[in-house]
Amino acid sequence: MTEYKPTGNRTVSTISCVMPAYNEARNLGQVVPHVLAALTALSPGVEMVVVNVGSRDATAQVLKDLCAKHPQLVAVNLSRNFGKEPAITAGLENTHGDVVFIMDADGQHPTDLLPSMLEKWEHGSDVVYAVRKSRDDQSWLHIAFTKLFYKLINWRSRVKIPANAGDFRLMDRQVVDALISMPERNRFMKGLYAWVGFKSTAIDYEPLQRADGQSHFGFRGALSLAVTGLLAFSVAPLRIVSYFGLFLALAAMGYGAYVAFDYFWNGAETPGFATIVVGMMLLSGIQLMSIGILAEYIGRIYEEVKQRPTYLVQSKIGLGLSKTERML
């Protein structure tokens, strides 16, 4: 691998990479050395933090063996599966580099983009995030819901979340420290990336094929994450219900005026039991839906006020950057 030559006004001394992993025992042996080689070509001061998110396979043992071979590697084993967002947070809190990359453990994030991302950082960008060119590997339902999600979450929102931008990105140490300081527990990282601000630059990429196995983050996981994002960074559900309620109220007033006019002017009989039942069922359904949305928001508040930790660490192996490198 060719040596990287800085081209901008900023020069990196140390680089960190965060990689959450869930049941990736078959991939880590191939992905970790490959990513470490790509990072070492960018800077001699490198550390890689792999967060084991309560994996049920041999991920913990594979990481232990890899730490013995690669002193730059740090393995953080969580006590259970807290989810990908808390895992990323755990990884960020264990980094010390001037810049931090976030990559997946399945090998789908191309290391060829790392020099380009670092180059944009050298020229002044604090965040360089990768945007998918296409979603050909996903079903039409997944694609449709993804488009709907970004429209809803960005609807009349002060903070715009870039569409099709995932966790694959480079961040300056200042951005990482800002993310770590965020106290919320129901973490939606895509929203937090956008909320903290800083100068950001997008770069297109095409995901590679998985090194082995199948993705553990399917449509259900994406849907759950979308609900968390909507409730954490948008009041769109509440606004939609409010507008829908206003529309129904106006429609009911209009229909009532029409019935009264028709009765007094034309002498028509007022519709009876069937109309009342349909109206009651419609209003009851809307009320239950509204209560459900409010309950979701209240549930998130309940989770926050308990102030439980975002994650718990069972064990940590490896050193990563040396004390001297951390002081550079």
Contact assessment for residue 220 and residue 139, using Cβ atoms and an 8 Å cutoff: no
Q: Please compute the mean of the pLDDT values over residues 172-181 and round it to a whole number.
A: 90
Measure the CA–CA gap between 328 and 325, rounded to whole angstroms.
5
Which residue in this structure is represented by tokens 């002017």? Answer: 265
Measure the CA–CA gap between 134 and 205, rounded to whole angstroms.
9
Give the torsion sign (CA, 23, 25, 30, 31): positive
Q: What value does the mean pLDDT of the chain take?
A: 78
Q: Where are the domains of the chain?
A: 14-214+309-326, 236-306
Sheet strand arrangement including 99-102: 200-205, 127-132, 165-172, 99-102, 14-21, 45-52, 73-78, 313-317
pLDDT digits (tens, 9 = 90+) for 14-23: 899 999 988 8
Calculate the alpha carbon distances from 52 to 19, 60, 166, 245, 325 in Å: 9, 7, 19, 46, 25
The mean-pLDDT minimum among 41-55, 76-90, 145-159 falls in 145-159
Measure the CA–CA gap between 32 and 174, rounded to whole angstroms.
26
Burial class (CB in 10 A: 0-12, 13-18, 19+), 183: exposed
Topology given in CATH for the domain delimited by 14-214+309-326: Spore Coat Polysaccharide Biosynthesis Protein SpsA; Chain A (3.90.550)
pLDDT digits (tens, 9 = 90+) for 184-234: 777 778 778 888 888 888 888 888 776 665 655 555 656 666 666 666 666
Residue 311, phi then psi, degrees to nearest 5: -160, 165
* The CA-based dihedral angle spanning residues 136, 137, 138, 143, taken in that order and rounded to the nearest 10 degrees: -30
**Secondary structure class of 73 (helix, strand, coil):** strand
Pick from 217, 223, 221: nearest CA to 105: 217
